[in-house]
Chain A
Amino acid sequence: MSEHDSTHAGDGGSIPFMQKLLDSPFILLFIGVAMPTVIYIIWGVMEIVSIPVAP
């Protein structure tokens, strides 16, 4: 049986969570923007603003 048959809607089975996620462009868009914004930009900016200013 092909992967298509066994995992897609219409075969009576429930759709796995990962497939639901991968079939949701707007959720992927959100996490694709949020992840680097938090881990790269916000964390990086917090490190810079916490550098003590030279007297």
Chain B
Amino acid sequence: MAQFRTCPDTGFAIDLAADKLIKWNAVTAVVFLLVGGLFGILVALTRWPAVHLLDADLFYLALTAHGLDVLLVWIIFFEMALLYFTSSILLKTRLAAPWLGWVQYTLMLVGALITNVAVLQGESSVMFTSYVPMMAAPHFYLGVILFAVGALMGCVVFFSTLYIAKRDKTYEGSIPLVTFGAMTAAIIAVFTILAGAVILIPTFFWSLGFIGNIDTLMYRVIWWGLGHSSQQINVAAQIACWYAIAAILFGAKPLSEKVSRTAFLFYILFLQLASAHHILVDPGISSEWKIFNTSYALYLAVLGSMLHGLTVPGAVEAALRKKGYNRGLFEWLRKAPWGNPVFAGFALSVVLFGFLGGITGVMMGTEQLNIIIHNTLYVPGHFHGTVVVGTTLAFMAMAYWLVPVLWQKELVFPGLAKWQPYLFGLGMGLASIFMMGAGTLGVPRRHWDISFADAMMVHEFPAAAYMMMGLAGISGVIGGIGGGIFILNMVSTILFGKAKVPAPAAEEAPAAPIGGAATEYGSASTLEVPGTFVLALVFLTAFVLYYFVNWKYLASVWGMS
């Protein structure tokens, strides 16, 4: 029989089994963010030409560990916490099969540890992609497979909890939009994990010597069904967090439930197809496959993102205007709680994800334009604009609310928390911009020494490329310090935080309920959000200009005379 406690802050009835699983998954996520972040700083300090910290072997080891721990382990552990939160707690129901939740946690933890050990042993510096014919130690693949199976178990628990909530009628009508967004993430996760199983299980047997050969192109096509789609789980989960934070802080409802859910439906149908942009310069695959996957279909997923980009700030504007912040276009924005790390992280995540990750992703997904920047440092620049300043920042913002609520403790360093989203967001945002700048000048990704100091054939990059690399290094270190402050705050709060003192009448007076998209179906029933429409037009102008500037740039790369 499930046992519940009532959260004094939110009034949520929290299933104790879900509570425990959410906490363990969230804490483990933060620990791996620390590990992966430290490796990231080592990578940044090596690619910063004036520092060039690590030797080549250690650089590729650190790069492999950084990619795995932050792109996969930190993010997926936190997403497991979100899946349990958005199903059990938001739907006011018990978590289905908590024992399976612990199987999920154990498999993911054991898998992550095994893979980290394999990387640290130095025989598996194959980077996140582990492209064949580079061969890692068998336990490298085994660890990733165990981790993925664990994540699949988490999805099973999530969908089973949705079923129980519907059967027990714990909600009326449709599930809340935040839960719908998390469900989108879970659906993409299932495809991601199945694609991973299809390619990584044979690769594991290949590493054991049971299979003679893995076709390189086959590996690349199927592996990216795992590698890129795993980042699309993030996009869906991060947008669910955006709606959740808007609801938690302001009681905001989406401008239109129908539009927001349709936008998530576009993700379910089309977002995974973006994986194909990694194959755009590979021979042997037709242009029809490439262009259909990355353009015709993917643009519908991009439309979904642009809809969310309009309706999330629109929901905030509508909610704040309702509270009386009606003067001019932007009073609601000026008077928003910029000193609250939950809001600051959320707002920066929305803006930076759109401008840095979103626009550049569309450019990269265009077959002709992709050739300009394929396999250059532009690519990590792009995904630091999505996964880091988009997803990670959104998850940090969510954690600033979730950790004090779940643990019932005060933040230990509230002053630092005010600054942290700006330090991390702007540091990593600048790192993303400078990486993309260097990539545009031709600097390759995953390269230990672009000066080719010990090579027989030298390539001279322009001085601006070295400057960009240096600035990316400095920005990365600043962002890393921001990430460190977040981890310090979270760990200190959980271990040493002062217990929250309930208000004197807390037992009699119910806590202020969290409304909006987090707990109920319903639209804001207004489109009077002029500030948001002006901001959207600014974004669209930047989008169009950037897109066509790159066509102009392509024309100059391929001189016709």
Contact = CB atoms under 8 A, between A and B. Distances in A.
Interface of A: 2-4, 7-10, 18-19, 21-23, 25-26, 28-29, 31-33, 35-37, 39-41, 43-45, 47-48, 51
Nearest to B268: A32
A32 to B, nearest CB: 4
Contact of A4 (B173, B276, B289): B173
25 contacts: A3-B522, A4-B173, A4-B257, A4-B522, A8-B173, A8-B521, A10-B172, A19-B174, A21-B265, A22-B261, A22-B265, A23-B175, A29-B190, A31-B269, A32-B184, A32-B188, A35-B272, A35-B273, A36-B273, A37-B194, A39-B297, A40-B225, A40-B293, A48-B221, A48-B284
Main secondary structure of the interface of A (DSSP, over half): helix
Contacts of B195: 36, 41
Nearest to A49: B218
Q: Which of A3, A8, A51 has the most CB of B within 10 A?
A: A3
B159 A26 contact: yes
Contacts of B522: 2-4
B285 A29 contact: no
Interface in B26-79: none
Given A45-B221, A48-B217, A36 B191 contact: yes
A32 B191 contact: yes
Contacts, number: 112
A46 B411 CA distance: 54
Main secondary structure of the interface of B (DSSP, over half): helix
A3 B523 contact: yes
B293 A3 contact: no
Chain B interface size band reads 35 or more
B525 interface: yes
Nearest to B183: A25
CB-CB nearest 4 A-B residue pairs: A32-B187, A36-B272, A32-B268, A8-B173
A28 B179 CA distance: 14
Contacts of A39: 273, 292-293, 297
Contact of A44 (B285, B523, B525): B285
A51 B257 CA distance: 46
Q: Which of A8, A9, A29, A51 has the most CB of B within 10 A?
A: A29
Interface string B189-224: 011001100100000000000000001011001100
